[in-house]
């Protein structure tokens, strides 16, 4: 693939970024965009929920607030196989059953989730890993168990492979487990869930403002 065939697409509405090109092209431009995402993920829109309400003890965002979020960055490295271009994509992972209900010895995931009120998928994932580590006493957490947590709290599931990978690389809240599809809670992740959630900052920078400089960065 020559430079003229390289592609960079940003879907602000869906919060998706797609980069297609050679390995060097993808790595070079992904680094630049991730620097913006690293800040945006922490701040963009996550603080927009200022007037929340509780119904029967469950945290619910206001219905008139549309939630936006930067979802996992999808990078497609185009490669030629038998003269054809093929994109490498992650195979879907199934949820793995895990005990998430309250009992005499532990708080249920729903209650814990409502207490912490995570917004982004990065925050939700580290909350789930924290819960499974501290309440279910798991030394490592399987990706499928994280997906079961999403089902338990009735949240839309992300590309969990990308979320965990970027959390490890840019957040430092998680670490790679002994298996390809397992992860471990770090001290940084534990401290974030214990002491930094829930967050109530009201300042909400604009997604469009955060991405205005991307074109300039890519041109450098």
126 pLDDT higher than 70 = yes
- The structure's pTM equals 0.58
Extents of the domains making up the chain: 3-219
For residue 41, count other CB atoms closer than 10 A to its CB.
24
Number of alpha carbons in the 13 Å side-chain half-sphere of residue 46: 22
Asked whether the beta carbons of 214 and 31 are under 8 A apart, the reply is no
Quote the mean pLDDT of the chain.
Answer: 73
Cis peptide before 157 (omega within 30 of 0): no
State which H helix or E strand residue 8 sits in. strand 7-11
CA distance 181 to 97: 15
Confidence of residue 80 (pLDDT cuts 50, 70, 90): very low
201 pLDDT higher than 90 = no
């Amino acid at each position: 693939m020559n430079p003229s065939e390289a592609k960079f697409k940003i879907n602000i509405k869906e919060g998706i970024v797609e980069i297609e090109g050679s390995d060097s092209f993808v790595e070079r431009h992904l680094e630049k965009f991730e620097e913006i995402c690293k800040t945006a993920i922490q701040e963009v829109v996550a603080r927009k929920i200022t007037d929340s309400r509780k119904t029967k003890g469950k945290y619910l965002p206001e219905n008139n607030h549309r939630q936006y979020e930067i979802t996992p960055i999808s990078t497609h490295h185009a490669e030629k196989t038998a003269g054809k271009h093929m994109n490498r994509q992650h195979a879907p992972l199934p949820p793995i059953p895990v005990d998430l209900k309250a009992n005499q010895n532990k708080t249920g995931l729903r209650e814990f989730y409502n207490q912490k009120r995570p917004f982004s998928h990065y925050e939700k994932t580290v909350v789930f890993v924290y819960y499974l580590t501290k309440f279910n006493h798991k030394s490592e957490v399987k990706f499928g168990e994280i997906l079961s947590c999403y089902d338990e709290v009735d949240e839309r599931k992300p590309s969990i492979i990308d979320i965990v990978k970027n959390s490890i690389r840019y957040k430092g809240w998680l670490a790679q487990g002994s298996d390809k599809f397992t992860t471990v809670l770090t001290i940084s992740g534990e401290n974030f869930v214990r002491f930094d959630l829930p967050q109530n900052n009201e300042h909400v920078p604009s997604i469009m403002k955060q991405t205005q400089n991307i074109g300039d960065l890519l041109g450098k």
